Structure 1
Amino acid sequence: MSYKIIFSDIDGTLLDADRTLSQKTIKVLSELKSRFPIVLISSRMPVQMYYLQEKAGILGMPLIAYNGALVLDKGGEVLHSVEIPHALCEQIVALNEQYTQGKLHISFYNFNEWYVPQIDQWAEREERNTATTPVVKSNQEVLSLWKAQNKGAHKLMLMGEEALVEAMWEALQTQMAGQLQLYRAKNTYIEITLQNVSKLTGIEAFLAHHKEITLADAIAFGDNYNDQEMLEAVGLGVAVANAREEVKAVANDTTHHHKEDGVARYLAQMFDIEL
C-alpha cells in the first residue's frame, strides 16, 4: 500500500519521557516531510503544536487541534471550526458554581487563546506540559468578553480533585446529555468539545478539502480513547505499546512505547530510514 499522509497524536504517542521530540523522531519526520504531509492531531491548542512542528522541521504543515474541533491547512488556513456555543459554556460554569464542596478549575480555549481563572496547580501543570502561558481572567470575565464578540469555546478543560471531577462528569452526562463530547484523559481532567467532535471528524473535514487523499491512504498513531475511532478508520492505524488495551484492539498494528521512540522506529522501518 502506498500511503499519502501521516496523522500522529502528540502526548503519550509522539513525545518522549521528557515531553519533547527526541532526535530520532525529529530525524524521521524531517526526512519524510518531502514525501507527504505530516499532520499533528491533538487535544492541544494550535500554538502548543507550532513549536513542535518547528522543532521537527514541519512548521506550516496542516494540523488538527482540540480533538478535531479546529482544522488548519498549510499556512494556517482554517478549514473547519466547531465551537461550544456561548450558552452552553454559561451552563457549564453555572454547574461548577453550584458545588459547595469546592470548585473545579475551568480553562477556556478558542483558537490560540487560553484563559485560566488563576495560576493554580492545574494551570501550572498545563503550562509546564505545553510550554504555553495562559491569560488570567475569571470565568465570568471570559464569558462576558466572548458574549460581546459572539464567540464560543473550541474546548473547555475542567481540572480538580478526582471526587469533584467525578461529580461533574455525572452532572454533565445527566443534565447536558447529547450536547457535549466529554473526554477524560485522566481522573482529574475533563475535556469538553461540542457533541460529535472527534479526531476522526477532524480528519474527515481535512480530507473533504483534499479529495486526492482518502482515509485508506492514511497512517495514524495514537494511544488513548480519543484516538480509537481514528485508528480504526484509517488505512493503517498504529497504537504505541503504552496505549489503552481498547485502543490496541482496534489498531492494525502496534509499535514501541512512546518513551522508546515508537512512532519514529515504526516509520523508520517502514520507509527504510536509518536511525
Structure 2
Amino acid sequence: MKYKILCSDLDGTLLSTKSDVSTNAIEQIRKIKNDTRIILVSARMPSGMRYIQEDLGITDQPIICYNGALVLSGNKELNSVFIPTTILKTIYELCAELEVDLGLYYNNEWYAPKTSLRVEKETKYTKSIPTFQDTQSTLDDWEQRNVGAHKIMLMCTKSSADTLMPILQEKLGEALNLYRSNDTLIEIAPKSVSKLSAIKLLMAEHDSLADIIAFGDNYNDIEMLENVGYGVAVANARDEVKAISKFITLENTADGVAHYIANNLVY
C-alpha cells in the first residue's frame, strides 16, 4: 500500500548513528518523497532536525519538534505550546537542594547553567549549541519575554533522579508529561501535546490517519504508532513499542527504516 504521509522518529529510529542518516536512507527516501510527504517527528530542537531535513532533501516539509510542542514550516510557527515560567520556577525550586541541572529549550534556544558530559553529548549528536547562563537568569529573561519551555531536560545523578521523579509526579503530574529517558535524565513536556496531536495538525482535510505510516522506538512513539494506519517499530525498540506495532523492521543501526521502505514502499 502507498501512504500519503510517512512520519519518523529520529534518535534510535531513522538515524543509523547517533547523529546522521545513512546514504541508504537518503536514497530510499529520495525514491518516495515526490509521492509521499516525509515528516520528521522528534524530541529534538529545530536546529537538531534541520540538517537532517537538508540531507534528506525534504526542507519543503514541516517538522515536529519537542514531541509536538513546536511545529514549524520553514520559519513559520504552525503550533507552539510551552510550559509557563510559573511552573518552571516551581520545578527549579524542587531541584534546588538536589544535584540537578536544568536544560531549558524554547524554539531554537537552548540554555544550560554549565557544560557537562550530557551537554557535550547533546551538542555532538544534535549539532546544536547551548547558551550557558544560570537558570534564574534564563527564567527572568523568559518571564519578561512572556515565553516558556517547549522542553525541559533535568540532568541528574541516579540518586537525585530517584528522589525527584516521584515528587514531580505528585506535584506536577497532572499538568506535565514527565518521562525518565534513562537513570539520570528526566524530560518534561507540556501535557496537552504529543507526536500524534502534531501529526493531526498537519493532515490535510482529505487525509485520514489510515493514510499515514510511522516509525518509532520509544515510549513517546506509542500513541503515534497505535493510531496511524501502519505503525512500524525498529528491532531495538522498547518491548512495549514492539508489542503495539504492526511490523518490526531491522534495528536502527542496520538501517531498519530504509530497509522497510526499500522492500515495502518502493515499487
TM-score (norm 1): 0.94
User: Percent same amino acid at aligned positions?
Assistant: 43
Identify, as 1 or 2, the structure richer in strand: 2
Q: What's the RMSD between the two structures over aligned residues? A: 1.3
Query: Which segments of structure 1 move beyond 3 Å, counting only runs of 4 or more?
Result: none
- Could you list the runs of 5+ residues in structure 1 that have no partner in the other structure? none
- Amino acid across the alignment from 2:29: L
Within the alignment, does 1:117 sit opposite 2:116 as a pair?
Answer: no
Give the number of equivalent residue pairs: 267
Q: Per the alignment, in what secondary structure is the counterpart of residue 185 of structure 1?
A: strand
Distance in 2 between residues matched to 1:85 and 1:44, nearest whole Å:
19
Cα pair distance change 1:18/1:172, threshold 3 Å:
closer
Distance in 2 between residues matched to 1:83 and 1:237, nearest whole Å:
28
In structure 1, the partner of 2:76 is 77
Q: Per the alignment, in what secondary structure is the counterpart of residue 205 of structure 1?
A: helix
Q: 1:168 aligns with which of 164, 175, 179?
A: 164
In structure 1, the partner of 2:217 is 223
Q: Per the alignment, in what secondary structure is the counterpart of residue 119 of structure 2?
A: helix
Distance in 1 between residues matched to 2:105 and 2:17, nearest whole Å:
26
Distance in 1 between residues matched to 2:18 and 2:93, nearest whole Å:
37
Contact 2:18 2:125 in 1 (8 A): no
In structure 1, the partner of 2:97 is 98
Q: What is the CA-CA distance between 1:188 and the residue it aligns to?
A: 1.4
Within the alignment, does 1:262 sit opposite 2:256 as a pair?
Answer: yes
In structure 2, the partner of 1:51 is 51
The 5 A counterparts of 1:4-15 are: 4-15=4-15
Q: Per the alignment, in what secondary structure is the counterpart of residue 19 of structure 1?
A: coil
Q: Per the alignment, in what secondary structure is the counterpart of residue 3 of structure 2?
A: coil
Q: Per the alignment, in what secondary structure is the counterpart of residue 184 of structure 1?
A: strand
TM-score (norm 2): 0.96
Distance in 1 between residues matched to 2:75 and 2:160, nearest whole Å:
37
In structure 1, the partner of 2:22 is 22
Distance in 1 between residues matched to 2:186 and 2:164, nearest whole Å:
9
Distance in 1 between residues matched to 2:166 and 2:116, nearest whole Å:
24
Q: What is the CA-CA distance between 1:204 and the residue it aligns to?
A: 1.9
In structure 2, the partner of 1:191 is 187
Distance in 2 between residues matched to 1:239 and 1:42, nearest whole Å:
15
Distance in 2 between residues matched to 1:215 and 1:83, nearest whole Å:
26
Q: What is the CA-CA distance between 1:196 and the residue it aligns to?
A: 3.1
